[in-house]
Structure 1
Amino acid sequence: MITQRHDEDINTPTGLMRCTVYRPQAEGRFPCIFFYSEIFQQTAPISRSANIMAGHGFVVVVPEVFHELNPIGTVLGYDDKGKDKGNNDKFTKPLESHDSDTLAMLTFFSEQDYCTGKFGSMGVCLGGHLAYRAALLPSIHAAFCLYATDIHSNTLPCQAGNDTFTRTQEIQGEIALVWGKQDPHVPTQGRQKIYQQLMDTERRFTWYEFNGQHAFMRDEGDRYDPALALECYNKAIALFQRTLKE
């Protein structure tokens, strides 16, 4: 499907948040996917990924995950300066503020005439964690989480007992998790810990491990694996078509 793009600036408890919306040009209402970025916010690779998903019949919303900490429209570079700033933002913003961002998006987009009212979540790196986190809400029917960081290690700031790993049992929808075996950010023991938590809490999930490095979906840089990326897009599309379009 041919797509269109526009921005929506929505109110959250921690300030105005820009959300870039990718959706079909065709008339009608479509399921909505919240697409959470890595620490660099909405870079060109994130934009292209969101557009790919939108072209399969979804409203894809990319929020600025660190809107409180940067001017609207900030995109960090894939360099040491950008990485340092993004990591500082990641360890500054509490998970509770990410939660209120997601709730604000649910409220806003449930009222838009181009959305059906069915929601999913998807993300890469930090965004994989936020997509998993969003699935704690019953309104999120499915989540597709790519190499989600900091779940196993509980290293993102939050109130005691409110970490994402501990709250896994609250996930009601279907969740898919994708990992690279050569990813140093989520080593084997970390992946096993998450897998066991999902098993122990009897969540409905699918688990994929590939021979890939961290950020293998990003179509810039020497870690990009086009074949794996295509396979993951197909798996994500299939999950959301089945769970959000029924």
Structure 2
Amino acid sequence: MQITQETRDLNTATGLMRCYIYRPAMEGAFPSIIFYSEIFQHTAPIARSAAMMACQGFVVIVPEVFHELNPIGTVLGYDDAGKDKGNNDKWTKPLADHDSDTAAMIEFCQTSPYCNGHIGAMGVCLGGHLAYRAAINPAIKSAFCLYATDIHSNTLPAPDAEQSLARMKDIQGEIFFVWGKQDPHVPHEGRQTLYQHCIASGINYQWLEVNAVHAFMRDEGERYDGALALQMYQQATALFQRTLR
């Protein structure tokens, strides 16, 4: 399936947010996936991942996750300077502001002529956390969360009652967690904490642990595992095709 790309600037509770939209290059209305990036924002690997999912018949929306903290169009480098800036932004932006960003994208998906109103969420690293967080909104039917950081540790800015782990019970749709067993950012103990919360909360979830390091989906650098990445795209596509009908 051929796709087309465009940008849209959405009004949010905390200012204008640039979004990159990848969608089928044909007439019709399609299911939507909000695709949350790493701390580096809309990098080339994120763009390729979004395009891959759009080619499966979805409208994929990639927001600038730190739009309040950077000029529109900011892309951070995969280097120490980019990592330091992105992590500082991560510790600065409250989860409530990510929630209002998600609400703005949901409204867009519910009103756009090329979206059919059925919405999922997907993300990597910080974006995996934000996809999980998006699933707290009842409009999100399913979420595919790849090596989601900081859920188990309750370390992003929010009151205790609003921390993402405490909100798990509010998830109504289906959620699919993917973890790398060799990922130091979410170690075994952290994964066990999350797994036990999944059981206790009664949510509808799938759980997959693979032999991989952090950021194995990123097709730049030494961490990339292309064979595993292909499997993840297939798993995500199957989830969304089933749940976003």
TM-score range, shorter chain: over 0.9
Match of 1:75 in 2: 75
Percent identical among aligned pairs is 66
The CA distance in 1 between the partners of 2:243 and 2:112, in whole Å, is 20
1:16, 1:110 → 2: CA distance? 19
Distance 2:112 2:133 in 1: 23
State the superposition RMSD in angstroms.
0.5
Using the alignment, how far apart are the partners of 1:211 and 1:240 within structure 2? 24
Separation (CA, whole Å) in 2 of partners of 1:85 and 1:4: 31
Distance 2:160 2:133 in 1: 16
Tell me which protein shows more helix as a share of its residues: 2
Structure 1 residue 154: Cα displacement: 0.4
User: For 1:96, what is the secondary structure of its paired residue?
Assistant: helix
Which consecutive segments of 4 or more residues in structure 1 shift more than 6 A?
none
Cα displacement (A) at 1:160: 3.0
1:123-162 deviations in Å (ceiling 9; x for gaps): 0000000000000011000000000000000000012310
Residue 152 (structure 2) aligns with: 152
State the SS of the aligned residue for 1:68: helix
Residue aligning to 2:49: 49
Structure-2 separation of matches of 1:13 and 1:171: 23
Distance 1:244 1:218 in 2: 26
- Residues 1:204 and 2:188 are matched in the alignment: no
Distance in 2 between residues matched to 1:161 and 1:68, nearest whole Å: 24
Task: Give the partner amino acid of 2:68.
Answer: E
* Contact kept in structure 1, 2:109 and 2:119, CA below 8 Å: no
Whether 1:161 and 2:175 are equivalent positions in the alignment is: no
Q: Structure 2 unaligned runs (5+)?
A: none
Following superposition, the deviation at residue 26 of structure 1 comes to 1.1
Kept in 1, the 8 Å contact 2:22–2:54? The answer is yes
The within-5 A match list for 1:3-18 is: 3-18=3-18
Give the match for residue 128 of structure 2.
128
- Specify the code of the residue in structure 2 equivalent to 1:73: G
Partner Cα distance (2:159, 2:92) in 1:
13
What does residue 240 of structure 1 align with? 240
- The residue aligned with 2:84 is 84
Amino acid at match of 1:142: S
Q: Report the counterpart of residue 231 of structure 1 in structure 2.
A: 231
Name the structure 1 match of 2:114: 114
TM-score when normalising by structure 1:
0.99
C-alpha contact 2:109 2:116 (8 A) present in aligned 1? no
Match of 1:35 in 2: 35
Deviation string 1:184-242 (CA, Å, 9 cap, x unpaired) is 00000000100110110111111000000000000000000000000000000000000
The superposition leaves residues 78-102 of structure 1 with CA deviations (integer Å, 9 ceiling, x where unpaired) of 0000000000000000000000000
Aligned-partner Cα distance in 1 for 2:63–2:110: 15
Q: Work out whether residues 152 and 165 of structure 2, in 8 Å CA contact, stay in contact via their aligned partners in 1.
A: yes
Question: Which AA in structure 1 matches 2:51?
Answer: N
Task: Output the amino acid matched with 2:164.
Answer: T
Query: Which structure 1 segments of 5+ residues have no match?
Result: none
| Per-residue deviation, 1:109 | 2.1
CA distance in 2, matches of 1:198, 1:121: 18
Helix, strand or coil at the partner of 2:215: coil
Over residues 10-51 of structure 1, what are the superposed CA-to-partner deviations in whole Å (9 max), with x where a residue is unaligned? 100100000100000011000000000000000000000000
| Match of residue 105 from structure 2 | 105
CA offset at residue 108 of structure 1?
Answer: 1.8
Distance 2:55 2:144 in 1: 17
| Stretch deviating more after TM superposition (121-130 or 152-161) | 152-161
- 2: CA distance, partners of 1:212 / 1:137: 30
